[in-house]
Amino acid sequence: MNKFITATEAASKVKDGMTIMVGGFLGVGSPPKILAALAESGVKDLTLICNDTSFPDKTVGKLIVNKQFKKVIVSHIGTNPETGRQMNAGETEVDLVPQGTLAERIRCGGFGLGGVLTPTGIGTEAEDEKERIKVNGQIYLLETPLKADIALLYGAKVDKKGNVFYNATARNFNPLMAMAAETVIIEAEEIVEIGDIDPNCVATPFKFINYIVGGAE
């Protein structure tokens, strides 16, 4: 099976109302070509799962400005004032999740777990409507798994089979999200031959990758 598609083809796989995961931290490790194509596609009513909403003129921030999300599940929105404006105006639902909890919820989705117990949020508004569970006398909140229809990721090097190497901190949420979505699309900074990536440096094996953007551009 040929996994190579264009950024436009990748964007066309995202349909109205879908839940998407996007790797990245303030845009670092996010797939710029795919997100640019998605911003031009007009797709709407999406739910975003991402670390943050980047900046108004970058990566997922462009989709925020276009009002393509009905809901975002993120750890912070401080670098994108438009997200805060939409939240306060009731235009977009914003679910703020502590960063570590967000990562664990995505991991649970990928690993098929029922959730994670965490003390983070006890005594705050974060525990509203969440199940409290006592373990050895300690109260924890049950945080449920997160999964997506499509994950849009970014790799520094991707071989022609789909094995992925992420560069330094650009790795961030990408490997976790690769396991927590029905369809996974990776944008490659560089396409390399099979075997060019040291197996010890492969963070996401090809089995998790459905499509690659880069080779057909």
pLDDT in tens, 173-191: 999 999 999 999 999 999 9
Structure confidence at residue 25 (pLDDT): 95
pLDDT of residue 1 exceeding 70: no
Domain-wise residue ranges, the chain: 4-114+145-213
Sign (positive/negative) of CA torsion 113, 117, 120, 122? positive
pLDDT of residue 216 exceeding 60: no
**Contact at 8 Å (CB) between 31 and 2?**
no
pLDDT in tens, 30-65: 999 999 999 999 999 999 999 999 999 999 999 999
CATH number for the domain running over 4-114+145-213:
3.40.1080.10
What's the mean per-residue pLDDT of the chain? 95
Structure confidence at residue 63 (pLDDT): 97
What's the pTM value of the predicted model, to 2 decimals?
0.94
pLDDT band at 215 (very low <50, low <70, confident <90, very high): low
